[in-house]
Structure 1
Amino acid sequence: MKETFTPQASGSPAPQTAPPAPAALAAKVRTVAPSMTRSMQRVAEAVAGDPAGCAALTVTGLAERTGTSEATVVRTARLLGYPGYRDLRLALAAAAAQQEAGRAPAVTADIAVDDPLSDVIIKLARDEQQALADTAAGLDPVQLEAAVAAMTAARRIDIYGVGNSNLVGQDLMHKLLRIGSVAHAPADPHLAVTNAVQLRAGDVAIAITHSGRTADVIEPLRVAFDHGATTIAITGRPDGPVAQYADHILTTSTGRESELRPAAMSSRTGQLLVVDCLFIGVAQRSYERAAPALAASYEALAHRHSPGGRQRA
């Protein structure tokens, strides 16, 4: 059995391999802000919205600007992945320089009930682009490489998710099946746990949960973890409970949430990018097996859908 991790206390900084790059700062704010206290959110929103102005402020000045305390500013900096406020200021200065050079991401308004569909198209397209950019900026290549290596060598891969996350899991399962991997993505939480009991060292279990706290996803991952499988979490909350049982964590963008576009919709784009990265990585590393399997699946489907294709009764 593996040794379980101790959950972090609420509000404590998540472990970071390295501080976020300046280009990833806004993405990081969007990812962790929903789990912050309201006072910490004010600090995070200020630094993301005006990096140049905040970079010029001392810790006392930023605390006064946001109506918080110096301790809150420091805690926010640490939760965003920086050792201290000085490191955050340096990142803010770099982010401000990038904005000045015209590389800042576009910010769009929420979709309103009376928006014409022409505006909906534009706003959704920009939000989807932003979600992809945020996820790409926050995705740790080291964690991704380790996840791909485990999946490539796996005897079997189980994927857990509920609701829209299960649809993303089904997408990954179908891709993996087409390159010869053995993959399962049960929609029923009871079946997910039953499947997880059968896993062992050399197998892989993947949990997809935007909130990081979906019980029906965490439980089969815990069972797989306890049985020695390599576990992977795809989540928008890397400091959530799911991290207790994840050997590797792949962070997705939270996305822009609104009344007409809840988290289940806004998180899907980032999740799909991550599973595509996983699939491509596995296909690259198992190309001798994957290429013939893909060709065979294409041929079988083409034959089935062609006018002359014959089907058994």
Structure 2
Amino acid sequence: MNPKRANAIWGFAFIAPQLIGLLVFSLIPLISTFVISSLDWDGFSTPKFLGLENFTYAFRNPDFQKAMTNTLYYSVLTVPAGIFLALLVAVALNNVRLRIMYRLFFFMPVVTSSVAVAIVWMWLLNGDFGLVNVLLKQLFGVKGPQWLTDLRLVLPSLAIVSIWKGLGFNMVLFLAGLQGISKDYYEASMIDGATKNQQFWRITLPLLSPTTLFVTIIAVIDSFKVFDTAFVMTSGGPAKASYTMVYHLYELAFKNFQFGRSSAAAVVLFVVILVLTILQTRLSRKWVHYAE
């Protein structure tokens, strides 16, 4: 056998498991979602072709509008705050001894089951006997609010949980970016008399911008996929104040068995995330700087 052909066969053999997994668990479901979005199908009866009717229903559906509004608000709450806190922690740990140990502690919530995290925080934020309200009363003499039943506070409460859980992941990414910045830049700036503050704004942030772009894109995508915390902690309530897009998809598909309408809403969510990602990539040309 030709050596080049043999190498190609072995190469395809090694990547075959990944390709099969990508095909079975990603590409086929993606194409199926687009197909089902044009059908009236409950999972059992014969599908009926509806064209774009499911999409028009989605945009006129008050639940869809509420879910999209809540998801956008949740994204605004979590993305900037999560990125800022992760950057702050990464900068603080960059030159600290036992950095690996601290990184482990911050990363532990990331690998912890989201359901377990939601249950723990559900008890912590309980308005009657939760630990957060107990501490507020004992330390500050303040009666704590009803975190998970107040219409104004339920989404910020879920945002706090998500920021806490994802802090370690973003922090590790920022920490890797910081360690990739050459010390020559800082040594040269010190010779020129630059202060620590000037070094951060003129060297660290510009050279960390590629990492910031990646973290921002991932954070935006994750914020639009929120489901587990809302499902476990609030069940989309109260009065659908924490009713998110993925929760909306879940209700349509697995409670109402309206797979066509659920797939149409999923396609809309996919398009929104795609547009936001492309927009972030385009805008990044103005503020992302790559070291030469």
Taking structure 2 as the reference length, what is the TM-score of the superposition?
Answer: 0.28
| Greater share of helix | 2
